[in-house]
Structure 1
Amino acid sequence: MLMPISTTSLAMRNSCFTRSRLPLVALASTSLLLAGCETSIDVPEPEHTPRIATSYVLDAGPANDSLGRQLFSDRQPFVSVSQRLFDSRELKGRNDATIEVRDEAGTVVQRYRSARPQSGGTFGTDGYYQPRLSYQFQPGSTYQLRVAVPGIEPAESQLTMPTQVPVATASFTQLSSPDPYGGRKGRLSVSFDDPAGSTDYYLVYARLLDAQGRFLTWAFADDEGDGTVSISAFKLSVPGGYGTYPFSDRGYEGRRLTLTNTVQYYGDGGTGRGPRYIEVVVSHVTRDLYLFYNSRRVYQDNDGNPFSEPTPLHSNIKPGFGIFGGATDAVTRIPL
């Protein structure tokens, strides 16, 4: 049995009964012996120094592109503070952080303010931030992030923004009429020329737009096994978590990379406006972001499995936890 958890230790009850393949009758006959065969073990709680926990993905879009960052939810700055191991309270974001990004010359090019409304607030806004300045991050440039929270040691990280890798060709062929749930299928093909002389990392997305170019919904791979791909891990991604599939060009450096796959999307995203375009986004990302997304996926795969190996999330925030990543997009639009 488990005893109450204190702030300094976890008392656990450990039976001295050893595993065996005893018949049911034999197990019943030993039940009285077990009652007096328990020991109590104190497991001390590890010391914990609160550290900043943050997530931010720079992109090369305009600073005022708030809709674009809502679609790519992982790209919004988020700040929290780590909790001790036995603290079971829900982790909440901090709205009192100071966030700055500096360029290679050490000049502050972007500052941030809390995205939480001044009065009332809305669900899910704690800890999220939005830019205050109009600076647009430049591909190929190096930036340093600094995050400070009152009473906590500041945290920093640095990255170089990836260059843009333009889409070489893209096509989409409609395969079916809407099913009873409004789902449609099509054949999507996209290719781009990978830079030579370096290992590079990518994500590929596809989204549906209406006649005015307004976002409707995301497309996703209908059957990951039916496509023709030049890299086995090359999969269409959907932003925001489990559907994120970053891939590396390792072994294919300097070649044209191509993805051809059957994709599915659901009508108009509930807007009542019909889709008129499919827009393909090839996102060239930093190595740290590639490692973070892959470690996050393994962590999610292991959730609830007590026999899995511990899966630490990749972090490049020091001192602290989290990810400072960069993504530079190339976009092409295909009429339906």
Structure 2
Amino acid sequence: MNAIMGDSVASPLVWAITIVVTVGALFVDLVVIARRPHEPTMGEVSRHLAFFIGLAVLFGGALWLFAEPHALSSAPGPEFFAGWLTEYSLSIDNLFIFIIIMANFSVPRQYQQTALMIGIVLALVMRGIFIVIGAAAINEFSWVFYLFGAFLLWTAVKLAREGRNDDDDEEYEENRLVRFAERHLPATTEWNGTKLFSRENGKRLITPMFLVVLTLGTTDLLFALDSIPAIYGLTQDPYLVFTANVFALMGLRQLYFLIGGLLQRLIYLSYGLAVLLGFIGVKLVLHALHENELPFINGGEPVEWAPDIPIWLSLVIIVGTLAVTAVVSLLVSRNMSQAEIEERTISLGEPDEG
């Protein structure tokens, strides 16, 4: 646990309060949705989304004003905002996949809130696990930044290639685990509200909601593999990593209903994310060189010419990249038909097969 709480901006008590509040908020949300499954109104989602974004801004502002620099974070406030914006942009990319999954399984609109909420909980669990693993690895092995950097550079190249492949007309394909469940588990095609199981003639069957949740869970695992190395390239403080992820995922459900159509018009999001991940990948490699301990690189000594990119520059590049991506996407997509946008969204948002 020292790798998680030691030298952090947050004390063990603050960690405990944060986790309890997060779990409590998720539990209340799940209970409220489970009692009354419905398609939320625009007013409802607008209020909730404004609340979560406002809360994130207040939290980051408090860190900026009051949190002291420490061993794992030289600037807690700016690092939180850089991490939150990066995770938020990656989470918006997740929404493309959620839209496709909902359409693929024909999830009724009144049940989509529940499916999305479960997906968000699974995403937090997955990212929580990777945060712990990442913090432990960084604490023990400084060379892990080479691996993180190389992985992000590979992901950036992959995203850029997907963005360039505009003529890709492949349709969404379920991953192997979901196909296995469909073929080997007794199932029904009838929805039983938001329940994962139902009984017919005394036999226990999985419902379509079970398959939706399974698909969201496996997809969340793939997204966690990208997001956690990316944010560790901006801050090494596990508390900032955790809270940035929490605030990025909170409100994602409301964003899905509020601007689902607008999200499809972010046609160059893959390019924007490729630039962000590529930048953070380079930042990680430079940091690894700056802290180098590998004997076959510079004789095991730090590479003096390798600079550590300051967090203020990272924040400027992140905000600038997201702004340019959004503006150019909306301007270009304004002259595209809805069919062209949907076709492009599917081709750019297709997840890897697990």
- TM-score normalised by the chain length of structure 1: 0.24
As a proportion of its length, which structure holds more helix?
2
As a proportion of its length, which structure holds more strand?
1
Q: Which has the higher contact order (CA 8 A, sep 6+)?
A: 2
- TM-score normalised by the chain length of structure 2: 0.23
